[in-house]
Amino acid sequence: MIINHPILGPRDAQEFVYLGDAALIDRPDGMTDGIEAFHTYAYLRDNPAGDHRELWYHEQGDRSWLVVTRNTVTHEITKVELARDVARAMGRST
Amino acid sequence: MAEILQAMTALGAHGPARVAVGPLSITERVDLALASVAERRGRGADLVGAASPAGLPLPGPARYQAGTPFGTFWVAPGMWFAEAPFASHEWIADQLRAALGDAASITEQTDAWVIFDLVVVGEGVGLASLLERLCNVDFPAAPDGFATRTVMDHLGIYLIRQGAGAARIYGPRSSAQSLLHALEAAARAVW
């Protein structure tokens, strides 16, 4: 599987480490959002058969976190973004 | 009587290792100092302004750029590794910190890495047949000055292309012997 890194171009998937659902970026505020929101964040995941946005870490590369949109049925990758850009677009880590 | 302290190389010797296999020579480099330079958030312009007068190039992604006194390669967005002659830059981190101020975070890296220069001599003989056995970098397709992190024999390394028959490898110092063995074994399979 090849992941088309937004900065470095096509790279073999063996250089990457998989973390999981990209919703992990959107961590609730532990001081105000309550235990239920944190429980949902920590334990509950969607398991779609189809497009899935997920976090990949380019460990044997430039050490960047990526948000990869991958079809879990066909393994086709349709979009790769820097997680930094995604987080900032959501108003995080500005 | 006190003896003069003598530094040991990554391979536990008093001098750099040299190995020749066919047209290939592997030479350990112990005369380079190394430090990482990481841009602090929002200080990119300050870093660029301070780097140029200090002789510190800041090349783009996956590139190495030579400079005086620093040769630099890109390792991550906003982060570079700078190398310089050890004789003049034993205190490379302090020297960079003095030049760049608080625009960047500097980390001493000199003794964290082992450096091997690979050179093959001969017309039409390149490093491609060796490196394609060791890592997944498309070495013949990469331009000179290409620098990337990759995996060689399960070790995370930096590979810098200096020409079709010349490359520099930065590997983890604590695995220097394993990396040299991997290079030698692959070279003997080729030549």
B136: closest chain A residue by CA: A12
The CATH number of the domain where A62 resides is what?
3.30.2270.10
Taking a contact as any Cβ pair under 8 Å apart, which residues of chain B between 1 and 60 contact chain A? none
| pLDDT confidence of residue B108 | 97
Is B138's Cβ below 8 Å from some Cβ in A? no
Averaged pLDDT, A34-55: 94
A13: closest chain B residue by CA: B136
| pLDDT confidence of residue B1 | 60
Contact criterion met (CB < 8 Å) for A62 and B156? no
Contact criterion met (CB < 8 Å) for A62 and B149? yes
Q: Which two tokens stand for residue B78?
A: 């906003």
Contact criterion met (CB < 8 Å) for A60 and B62? no
pTM of the shown model: 0.91
Residue A41 has pLDDT above 70, yes or no: yes
Burial label for B97, CB within 10 Å (0-12, 13-18, 19+), is: middle
Minimal CA separation from B136 to chain A, in Å: 8
Contact criterion met (CB < 8 Å) for A8 and B61? yes
Of B61, B150, B151, the CB nearest to A7: B61
Flag whether A94 is in a domain. Answer: no
Flag whether A56 is in a domain. Answer: yes
Flag whether A60 is in a domain. Answer: yes
Q: What are the pLDDT digits (tens) for B170-182?
A: 999 999 999 999 9
**Mean pLDDT for chain A overall:** 93
Residue A76 has pLDDT above 70, yes or no: yes
Phi and psi (nearest 5°) for B108? -60, 130
Residue B10 has pLDDT above 70, yes or no: yes
Q: How many structural domains is chain A composed of?
A: 1
B92-100 and B44-51 helices cross at what angle (nearest 10)? 110
Structural domain of A60: 2-27+34-89
Whether B41 and B35 have beta carbons less than 8 Å apart is answered as: no
Q: What are the pLDDT digits (tens) for B92-145?
A: 999 999 999 999 999 999 999 999 999 999 877 789 999 999 999 999 999 999
Contact criterion met (CB < 8 Å) for B75 and A62? yes
Contact criterion met (CB < 8 Å) for A64 and B62? no
Contacts of A8 in chain B (CB under 8 A): 61-62, 148
Q: What are the pLDDT digits (tens) for B68-84?
A: 999 999 999 999 999 99
- Say how many C-beta atoms besides its own lie within 10 A of residue B131's C-beta: 25
C-alpha span between A85 and B185 (Å, rounded): 43
Flag whether A75 is in a domain. Answer: yes
Contacts of A64 in chain B (CB under 8 A): 76-77
Q: What are the pLDDT digits (tens) for B108-117?
A: 999 999 999 9
Is B143's Cβ below 8 Å from some Cβ in A? no
User: Which domains does chain B show, CATH number per domain?
Assistant: 18-30+112-190 (3.30.1360.120), 32-110 (3.30.70.1520)
Contacts of A61 in chain B (CB under 8 A): 148-150
Whether omega before B23 lies within 30 degrees of 0, making that bond cis, reads no
Residues of A at the B interface, defined by Cβ within 8 angstroms = 7-8, 12, 14-15, 59-64, 82, 84
